[in-house]
């Protein structure tokens, strides 16, 4: 199995948006990803045997960065790809002088929270009712986390 992590450009956005749509109930659109790229965000993709298996989008302001969204598409989940993708993103950010990486995550996304904690992220706070619920109506809290690089 060949795994490659690389920066993606606008030509990959149809695939990225399709992958996000498979992964999330409220996915980012291709236009939202395009706007992010136009603002200078970094979009990384992880490919397995030349197939796009996931993506991560990072924004950066001075010495802080934020993980805007990350997805490993359903058929590729539970293979350690999110960990590889995040580690690569963290290393790239560190090389660019970033000292702190921020993110928010659904309070009910226990797998993601466990991954972030295993990489050294700590809980900074909670945003009440931030996300639309994954199932049914209602809202879900976001946990605010950060990692000192």
Active centre residues (catalytic): 116
Q: Binding site annotation covers 71?
A: yes
Nearest CA to 69 out of 2, 137, 133, 131 is that of: 131
Answer for the pair 86, 115: CB distance below 8 angstroms, yes or no: yes
Q: Are strands 139-148 and 122-132 parallel, antiparallel or unpaired?
A: antiparallel
Q: Binding site annotation covers 70?
A: yes
Q: Binding site annotation covers 3?
A: no
Answer for the pair 71, 23: CB distance below 8 angstroms, yes or no: yes
Binding site per annotation, positions for acetyl-CoA = 70-72, 109
């Amino acid at each position: 199995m060949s795994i490659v992590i690389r920066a993606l450009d606008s030509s990959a956005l149809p695939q990225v948006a399709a992958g996000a749509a498979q992964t999330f109930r409220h996915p980012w659109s291709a236009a939202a990803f395009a706007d992010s790229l136009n603002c200078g965000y970094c979009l990384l993709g992880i490919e397995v045997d030349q197939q796009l298996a996931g993506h991560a989008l990072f924004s950066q302001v001075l010495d802080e960065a934020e993980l805007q969204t990350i997805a490993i598409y359903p058929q590729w989940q539970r293979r350690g790809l999110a960990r590889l993708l995040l580690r690569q993103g963290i290393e790239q950010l560190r090389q660019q002088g970033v000292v702190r990486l921020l993110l928010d995550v659904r309070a009910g996304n226990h797998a993601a929270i466990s991954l972030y904690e295993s990489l050294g992220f700590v809980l900074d706070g909670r945003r009440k009712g931030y996300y639309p619920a994954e199932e049914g109506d209602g809202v879900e809290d976001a946990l605010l986390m950060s990692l000192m690089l």
